[in-house]
Amino acid sequence: MSINTKIRTQDYVQLTRLYDTIFFILQSLKSVLSSKKMKKPAILTQKSLRFFIVLSSLPLFGIVAAFGIAPNSSFLEELPVQKVILNLPLPDITQIDNTDITLWRQERIQRGDTSASLLARLEVNYQDTTNFLLEANNIKAMRKLVPGKAIHAQTTTSGQLLKLRYFLSNEEQFLIERTAGTFKLSEQSVKMETQIHMKSGVIDSSLFAATDNAGVPDSVATQIVDIFSSDIDFHRDLHQGDRFTVVYESLYANGELVQAGRVLAVEFINQKKSYQALYFQKNAENGGYYAPDGKSLRKTFLRSPLAFSRISSGFSNSRLHPVLKTWRSHNGIDYAAPTGTQIKATSDGKVAFSGWQNGYGNLIILQHQGQYSTAYGHLSSFTKGLHKGQRVNQGDVIGYVGATGMATGPHLHYEFRINGAQKDPLRVAMPAATPLTTQNMTAFHENTEPLMNRLNMLRDVSLAFLD
């Protein structure tokens, strides 16, 4: 294997250290492999590969970071450049005895999954799948799989099932262990550990594509949308080059990731304007997101009742109706989304109407404080148990996108009303929530200063690397 690159003379020491580190790792790997019987094709577990890659990449990352944050110096450009070729010998790992290798695999439960389909994706062999299904037939948790939850399985390379973990909640897990050829089933309490993660990314095509590239879970991306939904229209305002940095919790059990937790701090740069949010809990019940100056980011109304979609038709005084084929006003915003997409209440309020109403089809009207009300039309269905007079909180799911009434396809028709008159929700200035009191400000700064430091550090490192 050869490394062919151009470097400055001054950097040769850095490259030499990189070579020494890689050579040491390869020699160590060679000594480990040579101690095993060379019989079968080599199989490196995901864990061992990850360990190898992380170790070997650390010096390289150090070099990149050093160049990224170094001050500009014109004399560096005058240094001579020379070509250096280093030959790195690799050990022979074409054969290795893998009979004792075990693998941990993880799968997310999908809608419509069964125990059998999950075991198939986890590559459990036919015999163990059959035995497991017989043993787990009376386990309620395995008969009612929750979409989005994780299943972890430890197997041999031949697909023999050794252990299986299913985290029912943050407090308990379903565990199966192979003992003397049979499976032992049990439910155990889970001791959760919290770890802090810091990630950053750049928008190239969409927010979720950027968070995927940065390794940020979808649940964290959704929280980012919710946090800034009153200031940023994620349906229309994203631009290529927008950036985000986020600090969030992750919950672990037995050293394994169970789920992503709460966003603690986040910055989103939209069209060169910075938006920052810090999580602060005033007491055991009340927590929320605030700007660094203590101003609450929770507006009385969300800009959109859908977490993520696109506007198919805006507010207009004159629009050709797609069904009636006549020109008439369109006194709301249409959000195109798949049937069944969750619809959220944009503000705290009370259900004033829930049922069928002419061209609206299935319709919900919420009455909010004072002069404000909102309407949600063309729903496929309502949240179970929703009824007139019921109180709902901002962000509560009240129904699901559909195409009932006069609609040519699945979408949500959303109206924002002041004293019964429809207004454009994208242009109306929304009232802000109450800021922190003077008594809370001292505690706020003490609690959020470490988060702000993490956010600033991550942003500075990311910008230096990109520069």
Which of these ranges, 305-309, 324-328, 391-395, 426-430, has the smallest mean pLDDT? 324-328
294-329 tens-digit pLDDT = 888 877 888 788 876 667 665 555 554 555 455 556
In this predicted structure, the answer to whether residue 347 has a pLDDT above a threshold of 70 is yes
Query: What pLDDT score was predicted for residue 350?
Result: 95
In this predicted structure, the answer to whether residue 348 has a pLDDT above a threshold of 60 is yes
Same fold, 102-189 and 197-299+437-467: yes
Give the whole-angstrom CA distance, residue 397 versus residue 386: 10
158 or 6: which leads in pLDDT: 158
Beta strands in 160-242 (DSSP E): 161-167, 172-179, 182-189, 192-202
Q: Which two tokens stand for residue 346?
A: 């944009």
β-pairing, 421-423 vs 411-418, is: antiparallel
Residue 231: pLDDT band with limits 50, 70, 90: confident
Query: What pLDDT score was predicted for residue 45?
Result: 42
Query: What pLDDT score was predicted for residue 361?
Result: 93
85 or 217: which leads in pLDDT: 217
Query: What pLDDT score was predicted for residue 264?
Result: 94
Query: Domain extents for the chain?
Result: 2-87, 102-189, 197-299+437-467, 310-423
Question: Which of these, 166, 160, 161, 134, lies nearest to 147 by C-alpha position?
Answer: 166
In this predicted structure, the answer to whether residue 292 has a pLDDT above a threshold of 80 is yes
Q: What is the side-by-side strand order in the sheet with 192-202? A: 192-202, 243-253, 256-270, 273-281, 287-290
In this predicted structure, the answer to whether residue 372 has a pLDDT above a threshold of 50 is yes
14-67 tens-digit pLDDT = 555 555 556 556 655 555 555 444 444 444 444 444 443 344 344 333 333 333
Question: Which of these, 7, 2, 14, 3, lies nearest to 82 by C-alpha position?
Answer: 7
For domain 197-299+437-467, give its CATH number from 3.40.640.10, 3.30.565.10, 3.40.50.620, 3.10.450.350. Answer: 3.10.450.350
Query: What pLDDT score was predicted for residue 25?
Result: 62
Decide: pTM greater than 0.75: no
Q: What one-character-per-residue DSSP string does 85-132 give?
A: EEE------SB---TT-EEEEEEE--TT--HHHHHHHTT--HHHHHHH
In this predicted structure, the answer to whether residue 257 has a pLDDT above a threshold of 60 is yes
Residue 246: pLDDT band with limits 50, 70, 90: very high
The arithmetic mean of pLDDT across residues 372-396, rounded, is 92
Q: Which two tokens stand for residue 221?
A: 């991306």
- Please list, residue by residue across 307-322, b when 16 or more beta carbons sit within 10 angstroms of its beta carbon and e when fewer do: bbbebbeebeeebeee
Q: Give the CATH number of domain 310-423.
A: 2.70.70.10
Query: What pLDDT score was predicted for residue 239?
Result: 87
Rounding to the nearest 10 degrees, give the CA dihedral for residues 209, 211, 212, 216.
-170
Give the whole-angstrom CA distance, residue 198 versus residue 455: 8
The CB density around residue 276, as the number of other CB atoms within 10 Å, is 21
Residue 233: pLDDT band with limits 50, 70, 90: confident
Give the whole-angstrom CA distance, residue 346 versus residue 410: 20
In this predicted structure, the answer to whether residue 382 has a pLDDT above a threshold of 70 is yes
In this predicted structure, the answer to whether residue 457 has a pLDDT above a threshold of 50 is yes
Which of these ranges, 152-166, 178-192, 279-293, 311-325, has the smallest mean pLDDT? 311-325
Q: Give the CATH number of domain 102-189.
A: 3.10.450.350
Q: Are 350 and 396 in contact (CB under 8 A)?
A: no
Query: What pLDDT score was predicted for residue 401?
Result: 93
